[in-house]
Amino acid sequence: MSGQWGQNLRVSIFGESHGAGIGIVLDGLPSGLAVDWDEVARELKRRAPGQNAMSTTRKEADVPKILSGVFNGYTTGTPLCAVIENTNTRSGDYADLNDTVRPGHADYPGAMRYGGYNDYRGGGHFSGRITAPLVFCGAICKQMLAQKGIYVGAHIQRIHDVTDGEMTAQHLTKAQFEAWKAQTLPLIDMSKAEAMGQAVAKAKAACDSVGGIVECAAIGLPAGVGEPFFDSVESTLAHLFFSVPAVKGVEFGLGFAMASRYGSQCNDPYIWKNGQVETTTNHNGGVLGGLTNGMPVVCRVVIKPTASIAKEQHTVSLKRKTEETLVVKGRHDPCIVQRAVPVLESVMALGLADLLLGRCQRKGWNGQ
C-alpha cells in the first residue's frame, strides 16, 4: 500500500509538505536498542533545508517528537511513532496550482489518482519534505547495523557536468563515511566543490535547476544476505531508492557499463585473504544472485534536476481545458543532490536492516 513498506521492519510514512506535520511509524524494531538521539538529530540536520545557497530558503527545525515505542531510553519492541512539525510553510505560493499543473511534478497524475482531493501545496504527500521521516528511520537503522559492524556511506559522484573522483577500496571505510557526513558536499576530491557550486549557481541565475548522481556503499555485510529473485538485495534497495522523490535511475557495480564489456571483464575472481573468501575486483557491486558476497555493496543513484523552476513553462488548466504558461512560485532547491545524500543512505540502511532482521528472526537481533 502507498506509504507503507517492509517485511521484517515495517515502516509507514504520513503527512504533507504544508500540513500540520509529517511522521513515521516503525514496527519490528528489536527491543532494548539504546538510540543515540544526538546522532539522529545530526542526520536530520544533514538533510534539513535552508543551510546554503544550493538549497531552498525554507527553514525547518525538524525536531522529532517521539509518541511511542521508547521507554527509559530504550526501544520497547512495539511500534515507534515519531512526528515532525511543519513550522515554516508559505501555502499562498501554491494558490494557483489547484488547477494549473506544474511540469515535472506529480500534480496531474496525483489529481487523477485521488480525484482532485490531493493536497497540492508544496507537492503535498509527493514532496521531498516527506523524506525527513525516512532520515529519522535511517538514523536508527544505521545504529542497528553498526552493532553488527555494518556501515553505510555516500558521496556526490556528480552534479550536472562536474564529476567527483573515483571511489576505490581506500574510501570504503567507517572513517571515510564519517568524514563525508561532516562535509556540506561529501566529495572524494574536494577541489571539485567550487565547480559544483558554480554549476548550481549558474542554473539558479537562469531560473533553472540541475541534477546529479550519488554513489552509495555499505561495508561489513556478511555473504549470503538477501533472497533470490523478488527479495534480492538489488530489488529491495532499488525499490527503496525509487521511492525517494526525484530518483530516476539506479545501478549496482559497473551497472550499465557492463553492456559494452566481455564476461571476463565483469566477473570478480575469488581469493582467500586472511582466512576469508574475497574477490580481487568488485564489478558486481557486492551482490551475486541477489545475495551479498561479502564485498562492499556499491550502487549509484541518479537524481533528476529539481522540477520546480522559475523559468516560464508550458502547461494546461484542468478546469478551463486550456493551454497556459506557468512560472512556479515559492522557495525551491536549484539542486537537491546534496540533500539527497543522507536520504539515500537512510533508505539503504532501512533495506539492509530489513533483510538482516529476516536473517536473524530465529535467534533474535542480539543472538538471544
pLDDT above 90 (res 343): yes
Q: Which of 164, 119, 170 is nearest to 300 (CA)?
A: 164
pLDDT digit string, tens, across residues 27-55: 999 999 999 999 999 999 999 876 666 66
Q: For position 362, what pLDDT does the model report?
A: 46
What gap in Å lies between CA 223 and CA 183, rounded to an integer? 31
Q: Which of 153, 138, 164, 199 is nearest to 341 (CA)?
A: 153
Q: What are phi and psi of 234, to 5 degrees?
A: -65, -45
Burial 18-48 (b: 16+ CB within 10 A, else e): bbeebbbbbbbbbeebebeeeebbebbebbb
Residue ranges of domains in the chain: 4-360
| Contact (CB, 8 A) for 253 and 282 | yes
The mean of the pLDDT values for the chain is 91
Coil, strand or helix at 194: helix
Task: Output the pTM of the full model.
Answer: 0.93
Give the E-state strand segments of 169-265 in sequence order: 212-219, 247-252
pLDDT above 90 (res 16): no
What gap in Å lies between CA 239 and CA 218, rounded to an integer? 17
The CATH number of the structural domain formed by 4-360 is 3.60.150.10
Average pLDDT over residues 85-96: 67
Q: For position 39, what pLDDT does the model report?
A: 97
What gap in Å lies between CA 124 and CA 200, rounded to an integer? 25
Q: What percent of the chain has pLDDT over 90?
A: 73
Coil, strand or helix at 128: helix
Average pLDDT over residues 331-347: 93
